[in-house]
A and B are shown apart, each in its own frame.
Chain A
Amino acid sequence: EAQVTQNPRYLITVTGKKLTVTCSQNMNHEYMSWYRQDPGLGLRQIYYSMNVEVTDKGDVPEGYKVSRKEKRNFPLILESPSPNQTSLYFCASSTGGAFGYYGYTFGSGTRLTVV
């Protein structure tokens, strides 16, 4: 089944403790992206990647890192999480190197709470 898999689904952590949220897709998509969803703000893009070793900042990159060493994986790293990073996170992927014609396939989300 074609899908984007995120782990974990739920995570509670403490301020300053490094964490990684994994994202993997099995569709050979070139384009991957991370979003955070907050009430009343919709989805905001954190980082995106056009292909292996090609990443770029989205609208809200501060406090996050990403890497794209393999085509299928696009982990999101929080080096020193803070409470304002408490949010619902989505990973998404798309083919053709461009979102425009195909749309995204989204993961099921990771609900992160930083205390």
Chain B
Amino acid sequence: AQSVTQLDSHVSVSEGTPVLLRCNYSSSYSPSLFWYVQHPNKGLQLLLKYTSAATLVKGINGFEAEFKKSETSFHLTKPSAHMSDAAEYFCVVSDQGASGGSYIPTFGRGTSLIVHP
């Protein structure tokens, strides 16, 4: 069975400093991994995705994530935080499962990013 753990429920940074949101996953098959962002009172928006191509994935708004199979991690980073980055971030894993059927995703519990002026 697949699972995903977001290691921090809250991360607080100052504007202009780097952002690191940590995600570890467990999967018995070749997983696909995603990061979503949810701004207050909004739906979820896809930031980036890894689907077995390049291990360093670039997303929207300057975010990127690196797939590290040996560490079973998919941490989200950004060189310089902006006030508009304050939101909830979700790491998601999905794999084909034993049956080789369609991918069913599992969501992490979310990390709240707080950006101070």
Contact = CB atoms under 8 A, between A and B. Distances in A.
Interface of A: 4, 31, 35, 40-45, 48, 50, 90, 92, 97-101, 103-104, 106-109
A44 B41 CA distance: 18
B44 interface: yes
Nearest to A107: B43
B90 A42 contact: yes
A41 B37 CA distance: 16
Interface string B40-59: 01111110010100000000
Nearest to B96: A100
Nearest to A3: B43
Interface of B: 9, 32, 34, 36, 41-46, 49, 51, 90, 94-96, 102-105, 107-110
A106 B102 contact: no
Return the 10 tightest CB-CB contacts between A and B, nearest first: A100-B103, A42-B109, A106-B43, A98-B102, A100-B32, A43-B107, A106-B44, A99-B103, A103-B46, A108-B43
B109 A100 contact: no
Contacts, number: 57
Given A90-B43, A100-B51, A107-B43, A42 B34 contact: no
Most B CB contacts (10 A, CB to CB) among A31, A43, A48, A97 go to: A43
Contacts of A100: 32, 51, 94-96, 102-103
10 contacts: A31-B102, A90-B43, A98-B102, A99-B32, A99-B104, A100-B32, A100-B102, A104-B44, A106-B36, A109-B43
Most A CB contacts (10 A, CB to CB) among B9, B34, B96, B107 go to: B107
Contacts of A44: 107
B109 A103 contact: no
Contacts of B110: 42
Given A42-B90, A43-B107, A101 B51 contact: yes
A40 B43 CA distance: 17
B44 A90 contact: yes
Nearest to B107: A43
A27 to B, nearest CB: 14
Contacts of B94: 99-100
